[in-house]
Homo-oligomer: A and B are copies of this chain.
Amino acid sequence: MDKPYFLQLFDPQLENPILIEGLAGLGNIGMIAARHLIESTEAKVFAELYAPYFPDYVMVKKDGTCRPPRYQFYVAKTQKNHYIILTGDAQPSMEDTTAHYDLCDEILDFAEKYGSRFIVTIGAIVTSNPSNEVYIAATSQKLAQKHLNKETLVYTEGKIIGATGLLLGLAKRRGWKGICLLGATTGFGAERGVGLSVFNVLTEIIEPGTKKEVEEKT
């Protein structure tokens, strides 16, 4: 294996699915928010992505069984939208920029096959006094403004590192639309509370009016 490859479990029929990314990363906020979405929409895994860019170890579970690092693609259909939800337990090394670019383009190619043209990426930024605020960046100024409310702020003049930033940037270059949600964290440990806050903002954006139901569920 010297290139990423997909293990397809089944082949869902989708209409303009929104691609939602929540990978392992700072405070695992993206992963936590994606997990909430997977549970609340009863999403099912339909594909796995393996890559030589992932760490060279296997992860062993409680029962002694093992598997290599991977990304997983979940599919969900609600009354409002179809979703492809991407989550995973590792990212390539920070130094290996080609790995990041290659993986992101493979992911966008894959989602494009199912008709995706809109992406939401989820990550984190470190601030000294986080108070559950969520920062928004987007492929256009209009989109960045559209979802502003008392819980959200526009993220301005910075960098968004890793898949959370690069997926959005490369999607934009392909003509997709999309937004990025960044939970504020001190940068220490996994942040379940921040992950939930970002999930709630996400829900208001992609499933407006269903927030209450989702909170009861999780």
A residues sitting closer than 8 Å to B (CB atoms) are 1-2, 7, 50-68, 92-102, 104-105, 136-141, 144-145, 154-162, 165-166, 168-170, 172-173, 180
Contacts and interface: CB of A to CB of B under 8 A. Distances in A.
Given A97-B52, A159-B60, A166-B56, A1 B102 contact: yes
B139 A66 contact: yes
Contacts of A136: 64
A205 to B, nearest CB: 14
A156 B59 CA distance: 9
Contact of A56 (B52, B56, B100): B100
19 contacts: A1-B170, A2-B98, A51-B101, A52-B98, A52-B101, A52-B102, A53-B98, A54-B101, A56-B162, A57-B166, A58-B169, A59-B159, A61-B156, A65-B137, A65-B138, A65-B139, A65-B141, A66-B138, A66-B180
A52 B56 CA distance: 17
Nearest to A101: B52
Contact of A57 (B61, B140, B160): B160
Contacts of A173: 7, 50, 67-68
Nearest to A141: B63
Contacts of A2: 98, 101-102
A139 B142 CA distance: 49
Most buried by B among A1, A68, A141, A160: A1
B154 A64 contact: yes
A178 to B, nearest CB: 9
B58 A160 contact: yes
A59 B169 CA distance: 9
A123 to B, nearest CB: 11
Given A56-B101, A66-B180, A67-B169, 6 more contacts: A1-B105, A52-B101, A58-B169, A64-B155, A66-B172, A93-B97
